[in-house]
Structures are given as C-alpha cells and as structure tokens.
Structure 1
C-alpha cells in the first residue's frame, strides 16, 4: 500500500494561522457599506474618469507631460487592482484597502528596482533628472557639512547648534521603530551597531564622519535613547488597555461618533512581542540575529543610494522612499515575528517576502553603480565590520536570552516561596486562630412537627467546648 503524505487542508490550524497574518479577515463589521466589494460601481467610476481625462486633457503640452500622465494612470489602476485582488496582510485598521495599497506600492517599487538594475548609470541618472529637473544642477560635492571637525570643542552651545530638523526626524524614526520591534535589547543593539557601521564606512561616505560626542550623546543617548524610551512607554500603555470596540451606529452623541471615527486609525488590538524566550530554539536565536544584521543593511542602502545617485538629504524622493519603506516594515515585521516565534507558521508572509527582495535588489544596485566608490574600500574595515556585526548581534541575543532565563528562574523561586508560605499559614491557622465552639441552635421541619406537644421553641443542643492547650516547647509547624 502506498504511503500518503500528510498535507495541511484549508481548514487546518497551520493554514488558518498563516492566513491570519497574510490575509487577516475583518471581525465584527458594523458598517457593511465600507467592506462590500463595490466592483461594478468602481468599474463605472474608473471608466468615466478615463473618458473625461482622455477627451478633455490637452495632449499638445509636451511629451514629458504626456508620459508622466500615462505613468501616473498606470500606477493608479495598478493600485485599484491591488485593492481588489491583493491580500489584506496582518492588519485591518484603519481599513484593509490601505494595506493592500501598501502591498501594491511595494510591488511597484520592486519592479522599478528590477528595471534600474538592468540599466547603466547615465540612463538612471537621466530618469531622475527627467522627473526632477532640479537634480541637474546638483552634485554630491555640494552636500558638505562640518562633519568631524573641531571635536575637542565640546560645550553646551555647540551641542545646541548641532540640534536641527534631522535630530527630531531621528527621534521620530526611532520611536516608530520601537513601535514595530517592541524590545529594548534588540533596539539598543541596532542603535549601537549603527554607530559602528558609520565608523566602518566613513571612508566611503563623508557624512558618516562624526565626532565622538555627536555619535554618543546626540545619536545614541538623546535621539535614539529618547525615541526608544518614548516608544516603549507607548507600547506598555497600549498593552494595558482593554479593547472593547463599540459600533459607531450604537453611539448616540455626535462627539462620540467623531471620537470613534478617529479611533478607527488606532490598532484594533495590541500584541506584546516576545522575540526571545528562555526556552527558544537555536533557529529563533539565529533568526533574531539575522534581523539585526539585515536592519543595518537596509539602513545602509539609504545612504549609499543617496550618495551614488547624487541627491540632497532633503529631496522629496529620499523622503518618499523612507515613508514607503516605513509603511512596508509594519506588516513585514509582524509577519516575520509570527514566522520566527510560532512553530505553526511554516512560511513567511507575502509582504515580508517582497520586502526582503527589495532590500537585496537595492544592495545589488549600490554595488553595481557604486563601483567607483567601492574601489576605495578599505577591506580591513569591511571585514572588521562584518565580524563585529555578527558577533555583536549574536552576543546581544545571547545576553537577552540569558536575562530572560534568569528572570524566569527568579519568578519560579518567588512562586515556590509563596506556595511554601501559604502551606505554613494553612497549618498554623487552625491551631492559633480557631475560635472555641459555642452552643448551636438547630431548627428542622421534623422537629417542629414533633414539638407541638412538648415546647413551642426550637430545640437547643448543647455542645462541649474544645480547648487546645499548647505545651511549652511545642513547635507551631508541627
């Protein structure tokens, strides 16, 4: 008889658990209008919009305007298909359509990276200049600041002058990262490791050259540290909340309806992430270490892309990429967390897969088009950086696991001591706190029937008083 291979059906527990992070359904729908497909209505509206734009738009403006309008129309209709066909992902707030659009944008970004990978540098640079004409007159040499100069001049005025818009952006970025990762050990490791990354690549990227007080005080302690602390405080606040969502139709007041509409943009529930467990396996140990290393690589791509294709730090294209990656990171980390910590989840989610591919393509683009820059690479610095990243990541995860195990043993000891104290109290309490028995009055229906001839009141049953005498020298715990 042939052996049958066991597979997961659509209703199995493993399949349901993967669906919950890849295409999570919406529970307790109160306003059904916003969750119905409306495909026919959408088709009519889109065709009407096409007819209007095709016959009212002036096509004689310029070739550049026509091509840009056509590309925008392609992106718009691709996002419409994304809303109708792509999975929800692990989130349903404020609406699943938002996260389908994010997934659609991530696919468009991946396709754009693939297209760029097969072009030459002059073509790619011309594309950017065609969309953003202001880049024609900009070179990376113009982006020169006072990095790493006068490091001995440390004063409060110097620190205050170094605080600018990018410091607040730095703080907000780390607060957002904290809301995604929710682990002190991993976040502090990424923060410290990034400063080591800047030192290792400072000979290739001039803006990585910093004074020691800029890296330690401004970056690690102030911007990163305060961002991590503020984010973790918000996480603890959200974990302690009780989520009982009320339908907006059941709210009578206008103020209550507006408040409920605003709360639609907050999470439906809040999961306390436990990346590291005292009994975690080596696979989770390596997966979390891999997360720390890949995070460094994703951050490094940001600066190399900006430097290779010569864009100012405040250019809209740089911020668009950062916001897109930030939106992609939210479902990506949630899917990766489920894959790492839950043995029932056998594969990563689609958003996590696409993000990983985008990160790898970005790295290939940096290596291909930055060949002139990497010719000046100091191999010793890169080898040391790889060693420090691997060793530091594994060491951080090991310390976190050891700390969790120590806390678990301490908690077990405290529970055992509490149990021992409760056993002693149960043994001692009957001896010391037991009051003497008194006369008990009983009244039963049978006695009432038989007591008509004898007495009208209830029968009293005297009981003997028990007294317990403790001899001198007798131990209580016996």
Structure 2
C-alpha cells in the first residue's frame, strides 16, 4: 500500500520501521516525469499576462462600442470576475489536491472567493417591494396571491407571508429573467399509505409520486459526501440528523413534509444508505490501491497509456480519515462543529432556493452543489490535517472560505425571509431537541470530566510523535510531486 523504501525519501528507515503499519493509513508514491508533462505543470505567468493584455487591447481599441449601459455593465462585471479568476489560477498557491491538475483546485478556490463576494454583495441589498399574502384558513401550502406593489420591509404586516421582490432577487434576474417568482413548494406528506386500496388501478401511486428529481440526487449526493467525509459513522449521523431536521422544519418549508416511510425507508435507508455503502467501497479501493506513477511515454503499451491517462483523474496519494471523535475534548467539539456546519450547508440549499425563487431544477442550483462538493473535499482534507497533524496550527484557505460562505448564506436567508425561519417550532419538537441537547452536554461532561480517563482525554491523544512522523512522510511524498525536498518551501 505504500512505497516507503524509496531512496529519495528524506525520512530514515528507522523512523519508518518505528511506525506501526496498522496506524499508517496513507499511500506514498513517486511522481515520474520524463519531460513530456513539464510544460503542462508550469504556471506560465508571462504567457497568461500576454494573453490578458492582448484581450484588453482588443476590447479597448478594436471592438465596436455598443451604446447600452446595462449591457456594458454586465460585460464589465463578467470581465472583472474572469480576470480575477485568471490571476488566481496563475499566482495563488496550490491546494492539498494535485489531480487531475493543480490549476483545477486553484480555479475552484478562486470561484469560492467570487461566490463569497457575490453573497456579501447580495447581503447588502435592500429588502422591499412586492408583497404576496397567503390564505391562512388551512395549514396546507396555498398559492400566493398578489396584493400590490408597495414598498414595505420584510419584517412587517402580521398574518402575511411576504415574498419579497427585493433588489437581491432583481440581481438574479439579470442572470435569468425567470428567477425570482414564488415557488410552489411540493409537499410529500398527505396520504401516506404504501398500498392504497382505494385506487385499485394503481395502489402504489403514493410511492410513484415520490419518485422525482430528489431520489437520484439523494443517492448521488451521499455517495459523493462519503468520499468527502471518508467515515461511515459521520456520514450515517449526518444522514439521520438531516431527516430529523426535516421533521423539525416541515412547518417552515412544505418541501420538508414527508411520509414516515419516505423519511426513513426511501431517503435514509435506500437512497442515502446505498450511496454511503458504495462510497465506502470506493474508499476501500482507493485505500488498498498502490500509488506509483510513471511518465506517460515511458509506458510501452497503448492499454497502459490509457490506464495511466485515466489514473490522472484519480487521487495522487490517499489518506484514510480516522476522526477519533471521542479521543479528546478538542476533537469531540471539532466533530460537533463539522456536523453543525455540514447540516447548515444542507439547509441553506433548500432555504436559498425558496427565498430567492430559484427552481430546484435550475442550473444555478446544480452549479452551486457541484462547487460545494469540490470546496468540501478540499476543506475536509484541510480540517482533518488541522485535527491530526501536531505541527498544523491553522485551518487552510479553502476551509476558511467555505465556512464564510455557509455563514453568509444563512445570513441572506435570515435577512430576506425572517418570517419563515422564525415560525415557532411545535412544542413536542422543541422538547425533543432540548432533551437531545442536554444529553449531548451531559455525555460530554461525563466523558471528559467525570470518568476515570477524562483528564487524559481532555489533554489530547498521546501518540503525538507517531502522528508527527506520519505527517512528515505525507509531506515528503507531496513535495516530491514537484521535485522538491522536504526542506523547500511548498506551494
């Protein structure tokens, strides 16, 4: 599973032998470049600058001028964003991921910065204009009816459910004019019979009605989330907790209202469970695979070349995540923090599309989820190293930016739809969460303060030297990707 005996390794043989093979959960490899890939691994800073200047010269001198303020404003904003991303992928440091190319992960990092800046801009917009009211005779979600186009704040007028055509929504309409209209949220509750004898022609119609876009996205989403978290317990906990959150918040979003078998059988057990299981099998494959790379043109057969080319889209090395959440107080609180941020990001997906009027099938939702997957993969790798590496004293750039994005999204929801998120939680649900919170606090106090091993667990896990040696090997392997020594400055 690892090539520790490489002669170029700066870690001594005695150090590698002192590491217990059971605790070494990473794979080391040697990147071999015969010169054919050198061009593609350079930054090309001068070339990029030349291309950028040529494009600007063309726009300034040769392109016909269009007398349209709105059009020119949009083009100027897009040009600024593209120029920033081009600068970022050229000069920003590499992330912890190298495949298929470091520029891919520099690009995603720059996209996260642009997205956060866009969220901050939206957060500073006014919340006013058109109001819509909702009939309150029943508890069912009914269609919005237009009242008038008046200027009003988001927190006014009791007994009304305002859908605000705010300045923030008008910004989205510059992207797609169809955005910003009230969404008719689909409720998955109601008739919860699995077999409906009253409809003999199609007694399983309730099941078929639940089969929509969210079924494959649940499965694929949890498969990819498992690759990000790399832990069965953490994935299963997140899956169950999100179903509990849907129970809790179904009075706010009708989309969360589901039948019991839709929550626990179709979602948690079938879609989420199958996605987690296949994700674990993929993790097992990556963990057992031997990582030793050769230059493409040193491989004699076309089959080998094709296999090497496909391997470029896989991991360069692999590290299994052993979170050991209860090994110390710090790691326990850190795991709780990860869970909180993870679940908040999940809820933001549903609340944002409801508040901003973005249909679930719109490409903006898909792009956001795809970018979140890439940001989350790098962020979890950085956070895990922050937890496990004794010499790592700060979180990485991507995890910092991702955390800022999650918080800003929640603030947008809170500002533009305060009425929805402040609807009172039913008493029995509130009691359930109170019992759960007290249980977590009580278990934490008992585990880390009252138990016989509590003092040791508060101080941290004792294998500091072993973990330091393990991460030294990881850094040595990563630095050889660029032909550097461990004493060189890593980009």
Same structural fold, with TM-score higher than 0.5 when normalized by the shorter chain: yes
Counterpart secondary structure, 1:148:
coil
Cα offset for 1:50? 2.6
Give yes or no for contact 1:59–1:66 (8 Å, CA) kept in 2: no
Q: Could you tell me which of 98, 102, 112 is aligned with 1:96?
A: 102
Q: Which has the larger radius of gyration?
A: 1
Does residue 129 in structure 1 map to residue 173 in structure 2?
Answer: yes
Distance 1:395 1:233, change over 3 A: farther
Deviation at 1:292, TM superposition (A): 1.4
For these two proteins, the number of residue pairs brought into alignment is 373
| CA separation of 1:336 and 1:164: change in aligned 2, threshold 3 A | same
Matches of residues 298-337 of structure 1 in structure 2 within 5 Å? Answer: 298-337=345-384
Check conservation: 2:229, 2:380, Cα contact below 8 A.
yes
1:229 matched to which residue of 2? 277
Deviation at 1:181, TM superposition (A): 0.9
Q: Could you say what secondary structure the match of 2:174 adopts?
A: helix
Query: How many Å apart are 1:255 and its aligned residue?
Result: 4.0
C-alpha offsets along residues 393-451 of structure 1, whole Å, 9 cap, x if unaligned?
A: 789999xx9xxx9xxxxxxxxxxxxxxxxxxxxxxxxxxxxxxxxxxxxxxxxxxxxxx
Aligned with residue 115 of structure 2, among 91, 105, 109: 109
Please give the root-mean-square deviation of Cα atoms over the aligned residues, in Å: 2.9
User: 1:226: Cα distance to partner?
Assistant: 0.3
Matches within 5 A, 1:128-277: 128-135=172-179, 138-140=181-183, 143-154=184-195, 156-276=204-324
User: Separation in 2 of the partners of 1:361 and 1:46?
Assistant: 32
C-alpha separation in 1, matches of 2:428 and 2:94: 43
Q: CA deviation at 1:81?
A: 1.2
- What residue in structure 2 maps to residue 23 of structure 1? none
Deviations 1:448-470 (A, max 9, x none): xxxxxxxxxxxxxxxxxxxxxxx
Alpha-carbon shift at residue 53 of structure 1 (Å):
4.1
Q: Quote the Cα distance in structure 2 between the aligned partners of 1:252 and 1:329.
A: 38
Deviation at 1:388, TM superposition (A): 6.4
Q: Distance in 2 between matches of 1:74 and 1:47?
A: 13
1:289 alignment counterpart:
336
Could you tell me how far apart the structure 2 residues matched to 1:377 and 1:190 are?
24
Contact 1:189–1:396 at 8 Å: present in 2 too?
Answer: no
**Structure 1 residue 61: Cα displacement:** 7.1
CA 1:257–1:195: 2 relative to 1, 3 Å = same
Structure 2 residue 374 is the aligned partner of structure 1 residue 374: no
As a proportion of its length, which structure holds more helix?
A: 1
What is residue 39 of structure 1 aligned with on the other side? 45
- Residue pair 1:128, 1:135 contacting (<8 A) in 2 also: yes
**Residue deviations 1:142-192 (CA, integer Å, cap 9, x gap):** x24342011134465532442233211110000000011111111111111
Change (3 A) 1:357 1:204: same
Bigger mean CA offset, 154-163 vs 304-313: 154-163
Partner of 1:362: 409
For the 8 Å contact 2:323–2:384, the answer to whether it is kept is yes
CA–CA distance in 2 between the matches of 1:152 and 1:379?
25
Mapped to 1, the partners of 2:89 and 2:443 lie a distance apart of 40
Q: Distance in 2 between matches of 1:316 and 1:212?
A: 30
**Superposition TM-score, scaled by structure 2 size:** 0.70
TM-score (norm 1): 0.72
Pairing of 1:16-95 with structure 2 (within 5 A): 28-30=32-34, 31-55=37-61, 57-60=63-66, 62-95=68-101
Task: Give the superposition deviation at 1:111.
Answer: 1.1
Q: Which runs of 5+ in 1 are unaligned?
A: 1-25, 406-478
Over 3 Å counting, the alpha-carbon distance change for 1:228 and 1:255 in structure 2 is same
1:261-288 deviations in whole A, cap 9, x for unaligned? 222111012211101177x211111111
| Aligned 8 A contact 2:32 2:294 in 1 | no
